[in-house]
Amino acid sequence: MSPMSETADAAAAEPGNEGEAAGCHRFVVVASRLPVDRTEGPGGQVEWRPSPGGLVSALEPVMREAAGVWIGWSGDTGPAPGPFRANDLDLVGMGLSPEQFRDYYEGFCNATLWPLYHDVIAPPEFHRRWWDAYVTVNRSFATAAVAQAAPEATIWVHDYQLQLVPQMVREQRADVRIGFFNHIPFPGYEIFAQLPWRRQVVNGLLGADLLGFQRRADATNFLRACRRTAGLATRGSTVRIGDREVRAAAFPISIDAQSLEQIARRESVRKRAGEIRMALDEPDTVLLGIDRLDYTKGIPVRLRAYGELLREARLGPRVVLVQVATPSRERVGAYRVLRDEVELAVSRINGEHAEVGSPPVHYLHQSYPREEMAALYLAADVMLVTSLRDGMNLVAKEYVACRYDESGALVLSEFTGAADELSGAFLVNPHDIEGLKDAIVRAATISPGEARRRMRLMRKRVSEHDVAHWAESFLGTLERPPGTWPTL
Ligand code: GDG
């Protein structure tokens, strides 16, 4: 991280002041969202509350060392907040008009790219107006990045919402180093090829020096798209484009395992985990699912498997499933259909199998503070992650990080990035309902010794490969001159 490890010349702005003058930042993060949420104080004044996530905690040390700035959408369709300072970070809040929110965010991002990149689990929609909005919004983010970046700065662009930004920045600034990380899968070529603007997207990404993906298979899919869409030659993980070399490789993202474990170890959180089990009427086995309510997460297959297990009486009478389904993208049609499907399935299971006061499914369509999440992870004997397609799945890693007593079992879909790393899990093909049922039964009846052996393996992986390791290895590779890249 050479250019970023020197102390910045520009003095950091004081809290409450505007961000640093344009062009001063040697490290620029460009992400679809800011790491803070806008709220209104008691007097109606705007306040920015940190929205803590792995990404910001991983990047915070680099941001501080290198006079970094974070460019992202503020989360509403009001005027763009512009540069400001909050939570001790320099931020630039981008705006989306109501039309851009509809065409760019809900349209091209959530109803074109999201289903396309998740193996068309839902049919993607292609609309030229949405694409035009995608180009316009990407251009505004690129312009903001160019304005903030110091000479020879490092710019790290995140995710599928901003795939054109690398090229748009490079056109204006040959001096900067550009990294891009894709948080979701990159699809196989036959699927990607459906995108009417596939060439523009590949060219947009190729503006970066280094492209990071969750899994090796995603990087391979991207390299194939370069060959097929742009006719470019690739060698190993490198694409040659004119006199430049672009690298595409796997950098599996992770979590801040240590701080989550600290939360799980708190007396108050352990007490709360006990209360949760008590409120569930002290069952023998608690199964847990925590997902955004998204069709990629395989909630219906999980409910189907569980319902059949109850009908076949294969789990014993004192088993419950707690399913947290965090509200998500509620205005997009496919998400409304999914919510109805999930809620119908939950009602059917409870209708068929509940006794008064003890439903077999506890369904929670709400979001919770981090402490409550940790208590839920602690209260669960078996964690169910049955995604049909998932870039990584941080929930699986969070469960492992919280199980400091090495108990518990994880049922994990093969179609998650986490499956490449968590070899102690019961791996399942979520489309294979019989296989899924068998895995749930095995996980629910695991011996304490076997559980400990599996959990220890997973905890070692997650603690050694945490989110700081991820950020360091990506930025470390990005900072190296092309000839000195390590074998990835
Ligand atoms: C995308 C990719 C990739 C959920 N409900 C609550 C809550 N959460 C937190 C979880 C976890 C995060 O949200 C969800 O992360 P996932 O990785 O499971 O899934 P996506 O949201 O789809 O994320 C994914 C990820 O990007 C990172 O690259 O792994 O594949 O799809 O951290 O804990 N947090 C709180 N309350 C909730 O109710 N506090």
- Tell me: the pLDDT tens digits for 130-171? 999 999 999 999 999 999 999 999 999 999 999 999 999 999
Percent of the residues in the chain that have a pLDDT greater than 90, as a whole number: 80
Query: 319 or 36: which carries more pLDDT confidence?
Result: 319
Instruction: Report whether pLDDT(213) > 80.
Output: yes
Report whether residue 103 contacts ligand 1, using a CB cutoff of 6 Å.
no
Beta bridge partners, 385, equal 412
**What pLDDT sits at residue 230?**
92
Task: Determine the Cα–Cα distance for residues 226 and 228; give it in Å rounded to an integer.
Answer: 6
Q: What is the pTM of this model?
A: 0.93
Report whether residue 51 contacts ligand 1, using a CB cutoff of 6 Å.
no
Active-site positions read 183, 390
Q: Which residues are CB-contacts of 450 (< 8 A; sequence separation ≥ 6)?
A: none
Q: Which atom of ligand 1 is nearest to the CA of 294?
A: 22
Q: Are 285 and 316 in contact (CB under 8 A)?
A: yes
Report whether residue 368 contacts ligand 1, using a CB cutoff of 6 Å.
yes
Q: Are 425 and 470 in contact (CB under 8 A)?
A: no
Instruction: Report whether pLDDT(443) > 70.
Output: yes
Q: Around Cβ 447, how many Cβ atoms within 10 Å?
A: 8
The secondary structure of 397-416 as a DSSP string is HHHHHH-TTS--EEEEETTB
Task: Determine the Cα–Cα distance for residues 33 and 73; give it in Å rounded to an integer.
Answer: 5
Instruction: Report whether pLDDT(216) > 60.
Output: yes
DSSP 87: T
Cα-flanking dihedrals φ and ψ of residue 67, to 5°? 50, 55
The bridge status of strand 361-364 relative to strand 234-235 is unpaired
Tell me which of 392, 412, 462 to substitute to probe ligand 1's pocket, judged by most ligand atoms within 8 Å of the beta carbon.
392
Q: Please give the average per-residue pLDDT across 2-30, as a whole number.
A: 52
What are all long-range contacts of 260-266, with beta carbons under 8 Å and residues at least 24 apart? 260/370, 260/374, 260/398, 260/401, 260/402, 261/401, 261/402, 261/404, 263/370, 263/371, 263/374, 263/402, 264/374, 264/377, 264/378, 264/401, 264/402, 264/403, 264/404, 265/404, 266/371
User: What angle in degrees, to the nearest 10, is found between the helix axes of 165-172 and 128-148?
Assistant: 50
Q: How far is the CA of 207 from the centre of ligand 1 (A)?
A: 28
Instruction: Report whether pLDDT(47) > 60.
Output: yes
Task: Determine the Cα–Cα distance for residues 242 and 371; give it in Å rounded to an integer.
Answer: 51
Q: How far is the CA of 325 from the centre of ligand 1 (A)?
A: 11
Report whether residue 183 contacts ligand 1, using a CB cutoff of 6 Å.
yes
Tell me which of 292, 370, 466 to substitute to probe ligand 1's pocket, judged by most ligand atoms within 8 Å of the beta carbon.
292
Q: How far is the CA of 226 from the centre of ligand 1 (A)?
A: 29
Q: Which residues are CB-contacts of 402 (< 8 A; sequence separation ≥ 6)?
A: 260, 261, 263, 264, 374, 377, 378
| pLDDT band at 20; cut points 50, 70, 90 | very low
Nearest to 277 by CA among 289, 269, 285, 266: 285
Q: How far is the CA of 75 from the centre of ligand 1 (A)?
A: 17
Q: Are 50 and 56 in contact (CB under 8 A)?
A: yes
Q: Are 382 and 288 in contact (CB under 8 A)?
A: yes
Q: Around Cβ 352, how many Cβ atoms within 10 Å?
A: 11
Tell me which of 51, 394, 395, 465 to substitute to probe ligand 1's pocket, judged by most ligand atoms within 8 Å of the beta carbon.
394
Q: How far is CA 188 from CA 161, 219, 226, 237, 456, in A?
A: 19, 10, 12, 16, 34
Report whether residue 164 contacts ligand 1, using a CB cutoff of 6 Å.
no
**What pLDDT sits at residue 432?**
98
Mean of per-residue pLDDT scores for the chain: 91
